Structure 1
Amino acid sequence: MIRYALRCDQGHDFDGWFRSSDAFETTRAAGHVACTRCGSVTVEKSLMAPAVPAAKQHEPAMNPVEAALQALRQQVEANSDYVGLKFADEARAIHEGRAPTRAIHGEAKLEEARKLIEDGVPVAPLPFIPRQKTN
């Protein structure tokens, strides 16, 4: 697809998307390219700057949500033990007093998490993937 900056004979600017340059010319010649403001079908391509991607920065700036998630991740990792795929078993053992009480995080299948909740084991999903699962 090609995006063209267009201008009608009344001086209104607007954009149009076309499969190709030929598709634009054919569509315009048939009177099917009209100004979005006044409806004029006398339309020409106007000058436009090429879409050049910006240079990559070494470290992109985080938006407030990303920053909050990063802070939460750091808090969880600093104050709990990662137990991996043994999360459901370990959470149940802590709840039942068979393992020492401590904060943990890890991974559980959906059914395992539902069963923990049904059994009154206090668990909550985290809004990020554990680092052990990321590349």
Structure 2
Amino acid sequence: MIIFDLICADGEHRFEGWFGSSDDYADQQARGLLDCPVCGSGNIAKAVMAPNLGRKGNQQAASARPAEERTEMPVAAKPVSNDVAVPAEYREIIGKLAEAQEKMLASSEWVGDKFADRARDIHYGDAEEKPIHGTASQEEVADLAEEGIAALPLPLPVLPPESKN
């Protein structure tokens, strides 16, 4: 494969053309098969380009330096943070929301993946009425809603008690 930088007649649009050989380029050019992908002009020519020459197998790359000559990598003057910039008022709101959720969870029982069954038991009077929290699939939540049982998602993610360190 050979890659040529090509240019349209106006000289405004420069683009690459990939050919099997230099002869393939000449053949396609002679048959009028080359068009500018931007403006559609059929008047295409090779643009001036630097040759892409490979190194000989016994030569090192010019940029490689022996290990003893290498210097340390530059370090940023200030530490860089990967945190997303969140306005202070949002952090405050999220903090208050987390506190409220923590208080609610402290007075609620974790029932894990038995949430839908336990919610039904409480709703139909088969179990003591008390706040519960756990996990449920979307289908289970939809079924609860059809039965008139309210089930709301928690505002912030919660780890099951057995997962906490």
Using the size of structure 2 for normalisation, the TM-score is 0.43
Residue 97 of structure 1 deviates from its aligned partner by 0.7
The alignment of Structure 1 onto Structure 2 pairs a total of residues equal to: 82
- 1:67 alignment partner AA: G
CA RMSD of aligned residues (A): 2.8
**What are the within-5 Å matches in structure 2 for residues 20-31 of structure 1?**
none
Which blocks of at least 5 consecutive residues in structure 2 are unaligned?
Answer: 1-75, 82-87
Q: Which residue number in structure 2 is paired with residue 53 of structure 1?
A: 79
2:138 maps to 1:127: no
Residue 51 of structure 1 deviates from its aligned partner by 6.5
Residue 100 of structure 1 deviates from its aligned partner by 0.8
CA distance in 2, matches of 1:51, 1:72: 40
Which blocks of at least 5 consecutive residues in structure 1 are unaligned?
Answer: 1-49, 56-60
**In structure 2, the residue corresponding to 1:83 is in which secondary structure?**
strand
Residue 127 of structure 1 deviates from its aligned partner by 1.4
Residue 112 of structure 1 deviates from its aligned partner by 0.2
**In structure 1, the residue corresponding to 2:133 is in which secondary structure?**
strand
2:104 maps to 1:79: no
- C-alpha distance 90-54 of structure 1, shift in aligned 2 (>3 A): same
CA distance in 1, matches of 2:136, 2:95: 26
CA distance in 2, matches of 1:89, 1:121: 11
The farther-off stretch of 120-129 and 85-94 is 120-129
Using the size of structure 1 for normalisation, the TM-score is 0.52
Residue 69 of structure 1 deviates from its aligned partner by 2.5
**What are the within-5 Å matches in structure 2 for residues 1-135 of structure 1?**
50=76, 52-54=78-80, 63-132=91-160
- 1:104 alignment partner AA: I
- 2:108 alignment partner AA: S
Identity across the alignment (%): 38
Structure number with larger C-alpha Rg: 2
Structure 1 stretches of 4+ with a deviation exceeding 4 A read none
